[in-house]
Structure 1
Amino acid sequence: MLTALSIRDVVLIEALDLDFLEGLGVLTGETGAGKSILLDSLGLALGDRADSGLVRQGAERALVTASFDAPPVGHPLYALLDDQGLEVEPGEPLIIRRQVKADGGSRAFINDQPASAALLREVGGFLVEIHGQHDDRGLINPKGHRLLLDSFGALDVGEVANHYRVWVKAEAALAEARARVESDARDREWLDHSIAEIEKFAPEADEEAELAGARADMQKGEKLTEELGALDQLLQGSDGAMAQLRQAARRLDRIGGEHDYLGQALEAFDRALIEASEGEDLLAKAADALRYDPDTLDRIETRLFDLRALARKHQVQPDALASLLSDLQTRRDALDAGEEGLAKLAGEAKTARAAYEAAAQALHHARVAAAIRLDAAVAAELAPLKLEAAKFRTAVDSLPDDQWGASGMDRVAFEIATNPGAPFAPLMKIASGGELSRFILALKVALAQKGGADTMIFDEIDRGVGGAVASAIGERLARLSKGKQLLVVTHSPQVAARGDHHLLIAKASDGTVARTGVRPLDTAERREEIARMLSGAEITDEARAQATRLLERL
């Protein structure tokens, strides 16, 4: 809660240091004394727009420092500060400092660490609720109504949040798989065509080298045909070299025994015949390998050229076509499997959504029941606050499914109808600032200790009312302040008498310069101030006596 507020050079305030305590603190003073300056100064520390007009005339800058007790360990405020790179240890008081220069520009600090005005507003939302006729935060902001209803009804959204996370994860997996399958499906026709084309061609490993070699050999054979034919004529036939060599060997065989040399010559001829026969066989094989056949050459060249063209088409080497076929078949198999997996993922997403919807529907019914209880609690507070003709309701409406989230599928809004037969409208549409403040008070009382900041400020909540209504307001403020800190700017003596602490705001002038000051009042001073509020400019004994009765009755 707020422990201290230091103000320097803000409008009519030259220097002011205030300490604040738990309970109900009331701020009173004559009209124009500067109560709004005090609230504007606190608002500046909490991130309101920095207006150079706030700087006291003649000063270079305005400076406001607000000190707060340390939030409890685990408070979400620590996570916010950590996300922003600010180091604040649990248990360490928060000191917010904001300065505005007379020539424009402002700076802000949290525990002496630079901070933005936007961060001050977020931090301020955790620390202080300011309720006034121009306030657009706190209870009149629909963004917080669902959390307040859940807190009032002690509703746990954890199960819904868990189911939502599972559903979102399942939908993300399905979307990713669907995108992948759709991408592959766009290539399905090309895959099928390419696989059929390569399968029909049936490329073999090392086929290009074999075809190229066969083609080269046949082309050589075309050139060597005449030479091979001449060699065949020399070697074959009755007059060929082989026939002559065999005939010579047979004759030599008949006389080989007559002399050693003849025997050696026979052995040499035998060896020559063996070598010549091997040569003859090799020539025959060469002639067969190099045999030129135009039709065969055409078939070989056609196959070779088609093989290379197919490889170029698929941007691979000819010898890689067989491997490419295997890869394409694998991709097609994966596509088939992906389509099967898609159905499985779709089923999982459907199941996850159904589980989320069931949990969210249960939460919806619990919210509707809690809304009925809250409406009854607020209705009980309206008549004493002179709002008996008004009606309050908590609207729990279903959101379209594209707006469902971790908190469920509901939009929650506090609505009122100020007159019989009038349509219900959001709280912020109320024209009367006094009515708005009293509605907020009724809500705060109904919500009791269900969440909210530890420090609440009500600005002129009693405007336009008096007597029994003012007493009812004071009684409810006192009840609401138990265990919290309430600061109330009031013109009502009935409300002021309820305060645990009383601060008087007064303006003084030396004839040239006016200054606003604030001081705490003791018991006697409180009676005198309440008597002034009762009687006006001239304080009468009757007013003092009535002030005494108000203080004693409380």
Structure 2
Amino acid sequence: MLRALDVHDMLIIDRLALGFQPGLNVLTGETGAGKSILLDSLGFVLGWRGRAELVRQGADHGEVTAEFELSPHHPARAVLEEAGLPVEDTLILRRVNARDGRKTAWVNDRRVSGEVLRALSDTLVELHGQHDDRGLLNPRGHRDMLDTYADLQALLTASRAAWAGLSAARKALYAAEARVAEVRQEEDYLRHAVGELDAIMPEAGEEAALDTARRTMQAAEKIKTDVARASEALGLQGAEGQMSDAVRWLGGAADRADGRLDAPLMAIERAMLELDAAQRGVLDALDALTFDPRALEDTEERLFAIRGLARKHGVLADDLGDFAADLRGRLALLDNSERGLADLQAAETAAVAAYDAASDALTAARREAAVRLDAAMAAELAPLKMERAVFATQIAPGTAGPDGRDEVSFTVATNPGAPQGPLNKIASGGELSRFLLALKVCLSQAGQGGVTMIFDEIDRGVGGATADAVGRRLAALAQGGQVLVVTHSPQVAAQGAHHWRVEKRQTADTTTSTVVPLDPQARIDEIARMLAGDTVTDAARAAARALMANQGVTPA
């Protein structure tokens, strides 16, 4: 609900502070007094597109502040949360327009983009009038209006879930088909490559082990002869035999040497133990250096084969095993593709059936709601002196989507038998206003959601009993909510719970617009002016009192 509007230096408004109330708020004034400027200022702070030049002449910038009161479940709260803005019971919008055209906006003292501002405005205010391209005249919103009127939230939730399931099923099927098609194009390569790799079955670390073994065998031919000679030099024909002879000779002489040979004998025995260890090591080395020449050929052949495959496929030798496993997996996908694709196709078929059922249920509910809405419109149009007009909710097949596959449009014919067409193409100015009002009355039965409704001269072109019917419906719309109406009709003005007069004030060199709240006596004078013109007579005042009394308003 709009509580306050402050305007500074906008067009011909110098400074203006307004406080609005629940119920029907009426703004009246002579033509050119500035009523449209007031709405332009409100639209500016809400982020709507409007006039390019808004700053008052001579001012550096213009500024508009709007204060709204949010109910506990107002949809603006969700917008604030999504934008990361403070969520409070009071919402303050402020927007500044610099002389150079730059525009800056704040929400609860936080800087915001125009996108956030417009998202909030969609939950705060509805503007209805003969140029209402944001609301009832916009066919893009007609389906949502019908769904709200019929309370189809449960069916919409089911349709959206079915659409999400169908989208996921199709995505999985398309992805699998693409993978199979890609693998099928390289099937010959895959089977040949897997055959080569399976023939060798390389293991991680094998290339390094084969290289080491190859180098060892290549070196063995060069050193084996020297190792064999060393083995002979250490054996019985060499050092071992000579040391054995030395021990035998010294042992025979030790008994006659008075102990002088004991230490040398012990040293030789220790040396013979070390010599034995050396002999065993040399013999082990000699055994290791002895190999079948074919082993070198086999090692080199496998080593070169592994390295060749690594180069061919552009991977490290140690990664050939994982690479082969990947190729086998792709072949398995191809080999099992028929069964896998069949399962995914069955899932897609089931998802299509689920979506068809959900969207068909939506279509049926919409058609039933359309009949009810058309009947409700016929009942509303009769008191507005349009009993011969025909309102029809058209439902046609459209592009499938989360909210079904229906296109909804509101069409009218001003007389029976006349061709149906869009609201703004068929109806004249006065007829269009009454169509819009009747439609809003019918749609409001689904709840206003805390939105402030503004009607800009929606009573243009009507008078008498028709204007009276318009006023009564505006008053009914305002019950439990808030409606602002800019009007030239005394019958509509008499229905207001709160009344302001827009005035233009001129001096020698300036023109400004202001808004004056009216007390009961001032209301009588204003409605009398609307009835009689510039010269307000006692008879006009009496007529104004009678009109207000007839509307249930107690005059002063």
Could you give the per-residue CA deviations for residues 163-195 of structure 1, whole angstroms, max 9, x where no partner exists? 222222222222333333333233222112233
For 1:59 and 1:356, the matched residues in 2 are separated by 59
2:362 counterpart residue number: 363
2:147 aligned residue: 150
Partner residue in 2 for 1:99:
96
Q: 1:549 to 1:172 in 2, by over 3 A?
A: same
User: How far apart are residue 331 of structure 1 and its match?
Assistant: 4.0
Q: Which residue of 1 aligns with 2:353?
A: 354
Residues 372-430 of structure 1 show CA distances to partners (whole Å, capped at 9, x for unaligned) of 100111122223223334321111222234xx22x122122212223444432223435
Name the structure 1 match of 2:3. 3
Residues 475/336 of structure 1: CA separation in 2 closer, same or farther (3 Å cut): same
Counterpart amino acid of residue 380 in structure 1: A
Deviation at 1:469, TM superposition (A): 0.8
Q: Which residue of 2 aligns with 1:457?
A: 454
Larger Rg: 1
Offset at residue 490 of structure 1 (A): 1.0
- 2:117 counterpart residue number: 120
Map of 1:29 onto structure 2: 29
Q: 1:196 to 1:473 in 2, by over 3 A?
A: same
Aligned residues: 483
When normalised by structure 2's length, the TM-score is 0.77
- Give the corresponding residue for 1:38: 38
Summarize the Cα distance change of 1:334–1:26 in structure 2 as closer, same or farther, 3 Å threshold.
same
2:504 to 488, 492, 507: 507
What's the CA shift for 1:103? 3.4
Counterpart in 1 of 2:254?
none
Partner of 1:135: 132
Partners of 1:25 and 1:314 in 2: how far apart? 80
The separation in 1 between residues aligned to 2:550 and 2:304, in whole angstroms, is 113
Question: What one-letter code is carried by the residue in structure 2 that aligns with 1:393?
Answer: A
Q: List alignment gaps of at least 5 residues for structure 1.
A: 225-281, 292-296
Which has the higher mean CA deviation after the structures are superposed, 381-390 or 362-371?
Answer: 381-390
- How do residues 380-529 of structure 1 correspond to structure 2 at under 5 angstroms? 380-401=379-400, 404-405=401-402, 407-430=403-426, 432-452=428-448, 454-529=451-526
Question: What is the CA deviation profile of residues 106-152 of structure 1, one whole-angstrom value per residue up to 9, with x for unaligned ones?
Answer: 22111111122332222111111111222311212223222211121
SS in 1 for 2:508: coil
Cα deviation, 1:349-374, whole Å, max 9, x if unaligned, reads 22122111101101110100001100
Corresponding residue for residue 271 of structure 1: none
Deviation at 1:450, TM superposition (A): 1.6
Q: How does 1:98-247 map to 2 (within 5 A)?
A: 98-156=95-153, 157-197=156-196
Counterpart Cα distance in 1 of 2:184 and 2:511:
81
In structure 2, C-alpha distance between the alignment counterparts of 1:24 and 1:481, rounded to whole Å: 5
Whole-angstrom CA distance in 2 between matches of 1:307 and 1:162: 53
CA distance in 2, matches of 1:320, 1:526: 91
* Distance in 2 between residues matched to 1:327 and 1:515, nearest whole Å: 80
Contact 1:416 1:424 (C-alpha < 8 Å) held by counterparts? yes
Cα distance between partner residues in 1 of 2:424 and 2:15: 36
Aligned match of 1:251: none
1:392–1:323 distance in 2 versus 1, CA, 3 Å: closer
Deviation of residue 472 (structure 1)? 1.0
State the alpha-carbon separation in 2 of the partners of residues 123 and 319 from structure 1.
60
Change (3 A) 1:35 1:430: farther
8 Å Cα contact 1:211-1:304 kept in structure 2? no
Partner residue, 1:278: none
**Partner in structure 1 of residue 55 of structure 2:** 55
Identity of aligned residues (%): 50
Determine if contact 1:454/1:485 at 8 Å carries over to the other structure. Answer: yes
Structure 2 SS opposite 1:474? helix
User: Post-superposition shift, 1:317?
Assistant: 8.2
Q: Give the distance between the partners of 1:307 and 1:454, measured in 2 at CA.
A: 75
Superposition TM-score, scaled by structure 1 size: 0.77
Q: 1:525 to 1:290 in 2, by over 3 A?
A: closer
CA 1:367 to 1:289, structure 2 compared with 1: closer, same or farther past 3 Å? closer
Given that 1:535 and 1:543 are in contact with CA atoms closer than 8 Å, whether structure 2 keeps it comes out as yes
8 A Cα contact 1:97 1:110, kept in partner: yes
Aligned equivalents of 2:451, 2:310: Cα separation in 1: 77
- Judging changes above 3 Å, is the alpha-carbon distance between structure 1 residues 87 and 178 closer, same or farther for their aligned structure 2 residues? farther
Residue identity matched to 1:27: L
Calculate the aligned-residue CA RMSD, in Å: 3.6
**Cα distance in 2 between the residues matched to 1:15 and 1:308:** 86
Task: Structure 2: give runs of 5+ residues left out of the alignment.
Answer: 226-285, 552-556
Distance 1:33 1:316 in 2: 82
